[in-house]
Amino acid sequence: MADRKIIAVVGATGQQGSGLVKAILADPSGGFAARAITRDPNSDKAKALARLGAEVVAGDVDDEASLTKAFAGAYGAYCVTFFWAHFSPEKEKAQAAAMARAAKAAGVKHVIWSTLEDSRKWIPLSDNRMPTLMGQYKVPHFDSKAEADAAFAAVPTTFLLTSFYWENFIYFGMGPKKGPDGVLGITLPLGDKKFPAIASDDIGACAYGIFKGGDAYVGKRVGIAGEHLTGTEIAGAFSKALGQPVRYNEVAPEVYRGFGFPGAEDLGNMFQFNRDFADMFCAARSLEVSRRLNPGLKTFSAWLAENKGRIPLE
Ligand SMILES: NC(=O)c1ccc[n+]([C@@H]2O[C@H](COP(=O)([O-])OP(=O)(O)OC[C@H]3O[C@@H](n4cnc5c(N)ncnc54)[C@H](OP(=O)(O)O)[C@@H]3O)[C@@H](O)[C@H]2O)c1
């Protein structure tokens, strides 16, 4: 362990962080060691990471001192926030700033900050094509991460632009649902535009590639995706994997915003932002760069082959 560079991973028991921990542990001769940060080192998930060979330490993004302690002695830190746990851009920005200060105090050499675009650069608040939310955002969970980028200016940071996870089809209630005629359909406001998305584990695996690349990535923005697919192509892959027809139900963003589940407006704006600026979104998330960082990068069909049994079909 002493001769290996420690990567401290925030959110290690979650989707992005666990992918990074697993990628580090899967490469024992890679020169890196995984330090998993969790609020509860005694949880089943934390214990499972310890059994796999990760060092498990306590840390909470709401407690800066705990982060400084958890980052001590680490070469690298993976920093991610948890918007959907609280729906608060202000909290997300405060947590990101605390992580950045802790990384600086601990002398971390390479931070990866999991961020997203500021939608307001493309759709100013005065643009009425989508509603302004919470008084000052178009896509709150994007805009707050982008605002938090500034907090990382004082530390050697790679700004990692992530993509929509295909796991949302399992956990976020976005999977195929039966219509009145009994035929499955996925409902998304994407028009006929390409939409970058990824297997969540591949985010961590790409991040590992960035840590291995070291200084070459410091100060850079790197976007990643597993594939760029239209709604029709997503539905087609589902149909093939599930062995039954799955339709793409295209809806207007305003319809999606009105679905009423927590975060529906934010996500409706997000899909519209993706749709209306699809070329920019895809260009910022090169499949070639993603595959170079992570040669095991999965396509949607490969992800479906592994995960189709976990997708609830309602
Ligand atoms: N879903 C998507 O498609 C998507 C795409 C791109 C970006 N994102 C962004 O990804 C972020 C979430 O990342 P994720 O999906 O990896 O999260 P996640 O799977 O929900 O993981 C959350 C993990 O974070 C830990 N955690 C929660 N609150 C914490 C706190 N206060 N301090 C320390 N750890 C805490 C928890 O671990 P313990 O319980 O062990 O502490 C939990 O296991 C969000 O900000 C979201 O906007 C999501």
pLDDT digits (tens, 9 = 90+) for 142-153: 999 999 999 999
Mean pLDDT score of the chain: 97
For β-strands 55-58 and 32-38, DSSP reports them as parallel
The model's pLDDT over 101-141, given as tens digits with 9 standing for 90+, comes to 999 999 999 999 999 999 999 999 999 999 999 999 999 99
The pLDDT of residue 139: 98
DSSP 110: E
Residues 187 and 177: beta-carbon distance below 8 Å: yes
Ligand 1 centroid from CA 79, angstroms: 10
Cα of 14 from ligand 1 centre, angstroms: 5
Which stretches of the chain are DSSP H helices?
15-25, 44-52, 64-71, 83-86, 89-105, 140-148, 168-171, 200-213, 231-242, 253-257, 264-276, 278-283, 287-293, 300-307
Question: Over the stretch 34-76, which tens digit does the pLDDT of each residue have?
Answer: 999 999 999 999 999 999 999 999 999 999 999 999 999 999 9
pTM for the full model?
A: 0.98
3-state helix, strand, coil in the chain (%, to 5): 45, 20, 35
Q: Is 134 left (phi over 0), alpha (psi -120 to 50) or beta?
A: left
pLDDT at 1 over 70: no
Give, using CA atoms, the residue closest to atom 40 of ligand 1. 38
Determine the angle formed by the axes of helices 200-213 and 15-25, rounding to 10 degrees.
50
pLDDT for res 19: 98
Q: pLDDT tens, 173-191?
A: 899 999 999 999 999 999 9
- What is the C-alpha separation between 36 and 227, in angstroms, rounded? 28
127 lines ligand 1 (CB under 6 A): no
Share of the chain above pLDDT 90, in %: 97
Alpha-carbon span 246 to 59, nearest angstrom: 43
pLDDT in tens, 243-257: 999 999 999 999 999
Find out whether the beta carbon of 18 lies less than 6 Å from any atom of ligand 1.
no
Report the pLDDT value the prediction gives residue 173, as an integer from 0 to 100: 86
285 C-beta closer than 6 A to ligand 1: no
> Is the CB of 15 inside a 6 Å radius of any atom of ligand 1?
yes
Amino acid 214: pLDDT: 97
Atom of ligand 1 nearest to the CA of 11: 24
pLDDT of residue 313: 86
Predicted local confidence at residue 2, as pLDDT: 65
> Per-residue pLDDT averaged across 266-281, rounded?
98
CB atoms within 10 A of CB 124: 10
Amino acid at 2: A
> Best substitution site from 68, 82, 117, 171 to test ligand 1's pocket, by max atoms within 8 Å of Cβ?
82
Which pair of structure tokens corresponds to residue 304? 């479906």
In the reported structure, the alpha carbon of residue 12 is separated from the centroid of ligand 1 by a whole-number distance in angstroms of 9
**Ligand 1 within 6 A of CB of 78:** no
Residues 279 and 281: their CA atoms lie apart, in Å, by: 5
How far CA 287 is from CA of 80, 198, 206, 296, in Å, comes to 22, 10, 11, 12
Residue nearest to atom 21 of ligand 1 (CA): 14
Phi-psi sector, 186: left (phi>0), alpha (psi -120 to 50), beta: beta
Please tell me if the CB atom of residue 86 comes closer than 6 angstroms to any atom of ligand 1: no
The pLDDT value given to residue 314 = 78
60 lines ligand 1 (CB under 6 A): yes
Does ligand 1 have an atom closer than 6 angstroms to the CB of 82?
yes
pLDDT value at position 241? 98
Q: Is any atom of ligand 1 closer than 6 Å to the C-beta of 83?
A: yes
Q: How far apart are CA 212 and CA 27, in angstroms?
A: 11
